[in-house]
Amino acid sequence: MTAPAAPAPAPSPLTHFDPAGQAHMVDVSDKAETHRIARATGEIRMQPQTLALIVGGTAKKGDVLGVARIAAIQAAKRTSELIPLCHPLPLTRVAVEFETDAADSCVRCTAQVETHGRTGVEMEALTAVQVGLLTVYDMCKAADRGMVMGSIRVLEKRGGKSGDWHAV
């Protein structure tokens, strides 16, 4: 007598897994090309004197936020090289803004990424924010090794079959 066959695994709600549970790159060939936008944000908290170095432009390594902006843009463009299952996308726009907040002793980074394509740009926006904040850390670590990055999240995404989404 043979044992009954094991039931087939239930399909995963996670799109990066096939029916057998193996990781794969999602097939987007049947998706329509639409204008897609994502905005993400995050912050890095630091000592007040570290923030003063950034605001005053007196950090030893130079223009902290200018360099961090370029790093964030470059990171958005290279996201598919960093995140294994991301599609390489022809980005049409990457805008990165930094805001200093003396009351909270932090720098906030917001990135907006756009494309005309078959998949969204949330990962590109999140990667831009994180690398922008990492660059702030790198440029200021000699003054403050205790900086903390956090609150990194998607604020909104637009376009595609699933429509628009906004954080609450």
The verdict on whether 138 is a catalytic residue reads: yes
- pLDDT at 116 (0 to 100): 96
DSSP code for 152: E
**List 27, 104, 138, 164, catalytic entry:** 138
Identity of the amino acid at 148: V
Cα 99 from Cα 151, distance rounded (Å): 14
Nearest to 51 by CA among 101, 98, 109: 101
Closest among 55, 37, 57 to 46, alpha carbons compared: 55
- Do β-strands 106-117 and 34-45 pair in parallel, antiparallel, or remain unpaired? antiparallel
Tokens matching residue 60: 């030893």
pLDDT < 70 regions, the chain: 1-2, 5-14, 16, 24
Residue 7 confidence (pLDDT):
62
pLDDT per residue as tens digits for the range 75-118: 999 999 999 999 999 999 999 999 999 999 999 999 999 999 99
